[in-house]
Amino acid sequence: MNKKNKAKLNKEDELEKNNSDIINSENENLEQNSTVANNTDADNEKQNELEENLRNEIEQLRDEKLRLLADMENLRKRSDRDRMDTIRYGNINFARDILSLGDNLSRALDAIPKDAEKTETITNLINGLRMVQREFTLILEKHGIKKIEALNQRFDHNFHQAMMEIESEEVEEGIVIQEIQSGYNMHDRLLRPSMVGVAKKPNKDEKKK
């Protein structure tokens, strides 16, 4: 082998070595880039997971805040309602007791014979009692206490207490035809039911007898 061919072979070996080094270098770069890309993807995935966790925590805190605000609003409304009930119904027991005064006044006036002769003194006394009765009614209404209209109304267990049944052919069954004691409401609550007599149809067998 002459020197020229030997030099050519050495040059080819050197080129092949250089090419091999270049390929190895490129492979190393590719591997490094792949590692960097994998690391970047992992970092992005971790970042996304962290952001998702933060969003969930923020949403949870928001829901807890809204529930707390709703509870506070309900508590405020309940407190206002309790305060109003205390103002409106705080004296309900006293109101029930004072109704007996009106009952006695009505009984006294009902007991006076309408066709009996009366002296001027008795007449003045009766008129005075009626004025007191009207004033008493106005005072009750001023405090939200109103009489339940029972006579000629259909019996309602929410407002009436049936004390007796009265046979009647002239009145529809279930209609209140007698009021034994007046009932009252205090605002929107029942203070005392009306004690009443309720109409019923006569028994057919008794009617035949």
Mean pLDDT of 112-134: 87
Q: What is the band of 99 on the pLDDT scale with cuts at 50, 70, 90?
A: very high
Percentage of residues in the chain having pLDDT higher than 70: 77
Query: What are the pLDDT digits (tens) for 3-61?
Result: 555 555 555 566 566 556 666 666 666 666 556 555 566 667 778 888 888 888 888 88
Distance CA 65, CA 63 (A): 5
CB 159 within 8 A of CB 118: no
Distance CA 202, CA 165 (A): 10
Quick one: pLDDT at residue 128? 92
Structure-token pair, residue 79: 């407190």
Q: What is the band of 140 on the pLDDT scale with cuts at 50, 70, 90?
A: very high
Quick one: pLDDT at residue 159? 95
Distance CA 149, CA 179 (A): 10
